[in-house]
Amino acid sequence: MQTQSIQELTNIARHLRINIIKMVHNAGCGHFGGAFSSADMLTGLFFYKLNYRPDDPFWEDRDRFVLSSGHMSAGLYAALAKLGVFNEKELMGFRKFGTPLQGHPKFNLKYGIEMSTGSLGQGLSIGNGMALAARLKNKNYRVYSLETDGGSESGMVWEGIMTAAHYKLDNRCVLFDLNNVQIDGYMSDVMNIHPVADKFRAFNWHAIEIDGNDMQQICAALDEAAATKGRPTAIIGKTIMGKGVSIFENKPKYHGVAPTDEEFKTAMQELGVQS
């Protein structure tokens, strides 16, 4: 992937958010809150760091990405379409009958979807398996997954965190979207997960804490992760759920609902789309 300027990357993130809200609005359902909070980290990964050939999604040496929190599928699909893996027009089929763009991702390499996810907490272990495979095959590819704070309440995540450190998987990197919101409310009210970075460090990971909505910090952290040897890296990005549209920001109710027509209109305006 060619290196792009921070301004270009920020524009791509805005473009992803526009498509995400269009998809969810068009589908009448879906989860855009987390897709918005993680859109900047996803952009940094896909358009700055990921070693990937959009015209050859089966390329054996490609970096892998697993969307552990499958409900944020709209963000993944928007990014893959923007990369050119498939036509952007297909995004409007999201969640509709017969689409490869299922409500939660279904394994489909032709579309760049590396893994079926949706049941939370499984992607960390799956990414570890892919990272072990790279080691067995003497490949240099790296494996990324996007984890979330809510999704990491699942015990299996911590099993995988232990395994990645035990096997010193330095080709393994976790992007951790810390937006402090889960479906039933704020995490401090439902189930506190803090301190996240300390937990990763206690499990022998390299942990980098950043503003997960700051593209400069995201790119720097991705570079630092790639240069870290002997242990896996967690990039813990503090983010704002619904980031990018003021009426959605940090409001739990926008975790898993489609915007009303009025809200959609406001979102389009705030994202700079001319009506």
Which residue, 10 or 122, has its beta carbon nearer to another protein? Answer: 122
Concatenated DSSP letters of 130-152 = HHHHHHHTT----EEEEEETTGG
> Interface with another protein by CB under 8 A: which range of 9-17, 46-54, 83-91, 109-117?
109-117
Residue 116 in the binding site for another protein (CB under 8 A)? yes
CB of residue 197 to another protein, shortest distance in Å: 22
Q: What is the DSSP letter of 108?
A: B
User: Given the DSSP bridges, would you call strands 181-182 and 185-186 parallel, antiparallel or unpaired?
Assistant: antiparallel
- CA distance linking residue 193 with residue 152, whole number of Å: 8
Q: Return the range that interacts with another protein (CB under 8 A); candidates 43-51, 88-96, 111-119, 207-215.
A: 111-119
Interacting stretch for another protein, rule CB under 8 A, among 8-16, 30-38, 154-162, 192-200? Answer: 154-162
CA separation, residue 205 to residues 133, 151, 259 (Å): 20, 18, 38
Looking at the Cβ atoms of 156 and 183, the one nearer to another protein is: 156
- Shortest CB 59 distance to another protein, Å: 12
**Residue 118 interacting with another protein (CB under 8 A):** yes
Residue 127 as a binder of another protein (CB under 8 A): the answer is yes
Total H helices, total E strands in the chain: 10, 7
**What crossing angle do the helices spanning 6-27 and 215-227 adopt, rounded to 10°?**
100
User: How many residues bind another protein, per CB under 8 A?
Assistant: 33
How far is CA 236 from its chain centroid?
Answer: 12
Which of 9, 16, 20, 126 is in the footprint of another protein by CB under 8 A?
126
| One of 37, 38, 73, 122 touching another protein (CB under 8 A) | 122
Residue 148 Cα to chain centre, angstroms? 8
CA 143 remoteness from chain centre: 13
Per-residue contact string for residues 47-86; x = within reach of another protein by CB under 8 A: -------------------x--------------------
CB 56, min distance to another protein, A: 16
Binding mask 201-240 for another protein (x = CB under 8 A): ----------------------------------------
Closer CB to another protein, 13 or 126, in the complex? 126
Residue 186 CA: distances (Å) to CA of 81, 251, 256? 32, 9, 14
What H or E segment, with its residue span, contains residue 235?
Answer: strand 233-238
> Whole-angstrom Cα distance, residue 244 to residue 266?
11
For another protein, the binding residues (CB under 8 A) are 66, 106-107, 114-119, 122-134, 136-137, 143, 155-156, 159-160, 162-163, 166-167
